[in-house]
Amino acid sequence: MPVEMSRDGKGSPEREPTIHDLAREAGVSKTTASRVLNGALNVAPETRARVLAAVDLLNYRVNTAARSLRTTKTFLVGLLVPAVSNDVFGRIAEVMEETFRRDGVGLLIASSGWDAAGERIALESLLARRVDALVLSLVDDRSESTAALLASIDRPIVLLDREVAKIRADSVLTDQRSAFHEAVEHLAGLGHERIGVATISTSVRPGREGRAGFEAAMAVFGLESAGELIVPYNEINRASGRQVADRLLEAGATAIVAGTPLAVTAGILQRLNELELEIPHDVSLVSIDDSDFASLFQPPLTVITRSLDDVAHCAARVVAARLAEPDLPPQVEIVPMRLVVRRSTCPPSVRAE
Amino acid sequence: MPVEMSRDGKGSPEREPTIHDLAREAGVSKTTASRVLNGALNVAPETRARVLAAVDLLNYRVNTAARSLRTTKTFLVGLLVPAVSNDVFGRIAEVMEETFRRDGVGLLIASSGWDAAGERIALESLLARRVDALVLSLVDDRSESTAALLASIDRPIVLLDREVAKIRADSVLTDQRSAFHEAVEHLAGLGHERIGVATISTSVRPGREGRAGFEAAMAVFGLESAGELIVPYNEINRASGRQVADRLLEAGATAIVAGTPLAVTAGILQRLNELELEIPHDVSLVSIDDSDFASLFQPPLTVITRSLDDVAHCAARVVAARLAEPDLPPQVEIVPMRLVVRRSTCPPSVRAE
DNA sequence: CTGAAAGCGCTTACAG
DNA sequence: CTGAAAGCGCTTACAG
């Protein structure tokens, strides 16, 4: 007697069961098996039960590749971020993954490394996998070539805090403008007149909006937002943060709004420390995005923050809506930011130069 | 004349070109087209060139679903971690993704949320996608049910700092034992006798190895490693860290080795601060894994650290080797840890109780 | 060095 | 409510 050990559930890990095996086990056609697998409603309850029992017995799992080939959908969405290791993007990725998982959708994550060339490659790899939709946090939303690439794609795109001209896309934005307004309001209220801001480059929406929000707020409070008080950081590292700190201090800032990622903020703090400038007595500091770091630093940092989970849920919802209804008008969701006052801000002292 | 606008490269985003279109464009058979796509060597150079030109012209990208269906490989590897938002796992995920991308392999990341039930679901979702290999950082490597599931899988598995009995798997391990030895050596050298350690539970290799390393080192230096000096944290949050700090202090520890993730370490620091215990004068502290947080905290933390990039590269290499050679004997790679002395450790002071 | 043909595991009109 | 048949886009013996 030949060794026949199929359908024993576990143990001999042979060929994975196919829908054919499933149908045979349940005594129905592949068509019917497929119907219950896909939750079609026109199936007799009893038949459905038989198929489901067979699924359990055989430990059947649908072959996604075959399904994709047939339906031309991959049930995969691609997420492109500058760096998953970044605390903000890491959390967004985590929550999105978990959210999509409930719908049987996988999240393919790619990091650009804050670099245009890296971004191109990451994007290509996502496209090669034929993801059903793309969620993007680009390094430069003004790039013509990126815009051209995205325009040619014909797949749903949701932009995370970016705006790309001439393409059809949904977006989830952060209200940077009001964020900077709140920061300035807080600082101006404390009596600061020379408020400096470290911010991401204008090649990206938060840089443009943050700057605009800052300037508008300064005007509202009757303060001068001189050009030298707005300095973009160039790279995501400490050196860049130290440089920014120097320039802002040179410009006479008594308070700094650090619209910077952690590594850059770290550089700013490091530089202030070296110069023996105490926070908040010598310099007040407002940082963007909350973290263990911010709340545990001495002094605990006053921050402008948002719910990263909201951003992620929002993005997932937008993707789902778009996939369900491709002809929806462009969706735009705005996630608010709020100020959390801690101990890194106080009235300015009269510093002797 | 009917509107015929195929092969215009971009613009009209119609049906994606298939290998059939490619073959026609290049004037060869699908077989040949497939051969050059897969880098087969028995193709005339000139033919190859024609196909490649057609690829460019049509902007052809192979349909991964079809390829997978045919080859039974998905070119996808699954990474299961407790949380991608964690600084350690985030970095590992980022580097692995980038490494795999070069080989055209995608990384599907799933987070368990440090939870057994969540882990099961995450694992199932990875399996449902039929990933070619699994890289796992389990929440409990002693779980019988997880072991049974993994044993039934028949796909390459590489364990990240975990060891599961009775399954066939490769592993990338961290040398926790020597890490804790170094920490104790450093602290004992400073004169500490009551050294406490906060560590992950023994349901996971680092918890077991760390504990063993700690006890062995204490013995070497003639110190008592009483049970109350070893306290596991239960959850990944500050409250848990505060609790751990209290217990260790109660046990009379003058130095703490915090083998804890950032959120827990944060709780320990917070508690010490509340109790107005100064680091290092009242309590010395050695933390595990370096970060901006650790180096910028006041005082900068002495840490035991490892190269996360090495861990990631190592894991990627092990996966690649296993995929290329399924019958390789189990591979075990060990990544070293080293001590970086900063300013959170000093000789113990005589504290009045 | 090249091609015709079969088949991977699904889903979906179509027919009943 | 159910099933037979076609076909999604590839790769791979097999034959030449």
- B139, burial (CB in 10 Å: exposed 0-12, middle 13-18, buried 19+): buried
The sign of the torsion formed by the CA atoms of A208, A209, A212, A215 equals negative
A6 CB inside 7 Å of strand C: no
Is any atom of nucleic acid chain C found less than 7 Å from the CB of residue A67?
A: yes
Query: Which residue in B287, B299, B297 sits closest to B340, CA to CA?
Result: B287
User: Would you call B154 an interface residue with chain A, using a CB distance cutoff of 8 Å?
Assistant: yes
A99 touches strand D (CB under 7 A): no
Task: Grade residue B116 by pLDDT with cuts at 50, 70 and 90.
Answer: very high
Q: Which of the nucleotides lies closest to B20 (Cα–C1')? A: D9
Residue with tokens 């054919």: A20
| Distance, CA of A30 to C1' of D5, in Å | 12
- pLDDT for res B152: 87
Interior angle at CA B261, CA B279 and CA B280, nearest 5? 10
Cβ–Cβ gap A63/B130 under 8 Å: yes
Dist. CA B34–CA A214, nearest whole Å:
56
Amino acid A210 reads: G
pLDDT on residue B350: 62
pLDDT confidence of residue A14: 62
**Between residues A14 and B241, the one the model is more confident about:** B241
Q: Do B101 and A122 touch (CB under 8 A)?
A: yes
Task: Provide the token pair at B193.
Answer: 């006798």
- SS3 string of chain A? CCCCCCCCCCCCCCCCCCHHHHHHHHCCCHHHHHHHHCCCCCCCHHHHHHHHHHHHHHCCCCCHHHHHHHHCCCCEEEEEECCCCCHHHHHHHHHHHHHHHCCCCEEEEEECCCCHHHHHHHHHHHHHCCCCEEEECCCCCCCHHHHHHHHCCCCCEEEECCCCCCCCCEEEEECHHHHHHHHHHHHHHHCCCCEEEEECCCCCHHHHHHHHHHHHHHHHCCCCCCHHHEEECCCCCHHHHHHHHHHHHHCCCCEEEECCCHHHHHHHHHHHHHCCCCCCCCCEEEEECCCHHHHHCCCCCEEEECCHHHHHHHHHHHHHHHHHCCCCCCCEEEECCEEECCCCCCCCCCCCC
Q: What is the dihedral of CA B85, B88, B90, B96, to 10 degrees?
A: -160
Band (B352; pLDDT cuts 50, 70, 90): very low
Query: Between A and B, how many CB-CB pairs are < 8 A?
Result: 144
Alpha-carbon span B152 to B77, nearest angstrom: 18
Partner residue facing A90 (CB), from B85, B129, B298:
B85
CB atoms < 10 A from the CB of A281, how many?
13
Residues of chain A scoring pLDDT < 70: 1-14, 350-353
pLDDT at A96: 97
Q: CB A130 to CB B64 under 8 A?
A: yes
Q: Which bases of chain C are contacted by protein, using any atom under 7 A from a CB?
A: 1-13
Q: Binning pLDDT at 50, 70 and 90, where does residue B161 land? A: very high
Tens-digit pLDDT profile for residues A181-239: 999 999 999 999 999 999 999 999 999 999 999 999 999 999 988 889 999 998 899 99
B84 → closest Cβ in A62, A93, A125: A93
Task: Spell out which residues of chain B touch residue A122, defining contact as CB-CB under 8 Å.
Answer: 101
Longest dimension (CA), chain B: 98
A80-118 per-residue burial string, b: 16 or more CB within 10 A, e: under 16 = bbbbbbbbbbbbbbbbbbbbbbeeebbbbbbbbbbeeeb
Distances (CA, A) of A38 to A35, A243, B52, B254: 5, 58, 39, 61
> What are the phi and psi torsion angles at B335 (to 5°)?
-100, 125
This prediction has a pTM of: 0.92
B154/A266 CB distance under 8 A? no
What is the predicted pLDDT for the residue at B103? 87
Residues 36-55 of B with CB under 7 A from strand C: 41-47
- pLDDT of B243 > 60? The answer is yes
A87 vs B: CB within 8 A = yes
Query: Which of B98, B100, B154 should be substituted to probe chain A, the one whose Cβ sees the most A Cβ atoms within 10 Å?
Result: B98
Q: A83 — contact with chain B (CB < 8 Å)?
A: yes
Summarised one tens digit per residue, pLDDT across range B319-346 is: 999 998 888 999 999 999 999 999 999 9
Res B218: pLDDT: 95
**Cα gap A159→A106, rounded to integer Å:** 18
Token digits of residue B23: 């073959």
B176-215 pLDDT, tens digit per residue, is 999 999 999 999 999 999 999 999 999 999 999 999 999 9
DSSP letter assigned to residue B113: T
pLDDT reported for residue A12 = 39
Query: Which is more confidently placed, A11 or B112?
Result: B112
- For residues B230 and B211, the answer to whether their CB atoms sit within 8 Å is yes
Nearest-5° angle of CA A98, CA A102, CA A107? 50
pLDDT at B201: 92
Helices A64-71 and B64-71 cross at an angle (nearest 10°) of 140
Residue B177 structure tokens: 């034992």
Report yes or no: B265 and B241 within 8 Å, Cβ to Cβ.
yes
pLDDT (average), residues B75-93: 95
Distance between the alpha carbon (CA) of A105 and the C1' atom of C15, Å = 34
Within 7 Å: CB of A30 and strand D?
yes
Residue B6 has pLDDT above 50, yes or no: no
- For the CA of A309 and the C1' of D7, the distance in angstroms is 42
Q: Residue A5: its pLDDT value, please?
A: 38
**pLDDT level of residue B172 (50, 70, 90 thresholds):** very high
Residue B5 has pLDDT above 60, yes or no: no
Does residue A71 approach strand C to less than 7 Å at its CB?
yes
In chain A, residues 217-276 whose CB comes closer than 8 Å to chain B: 262-263, 266, 269-270
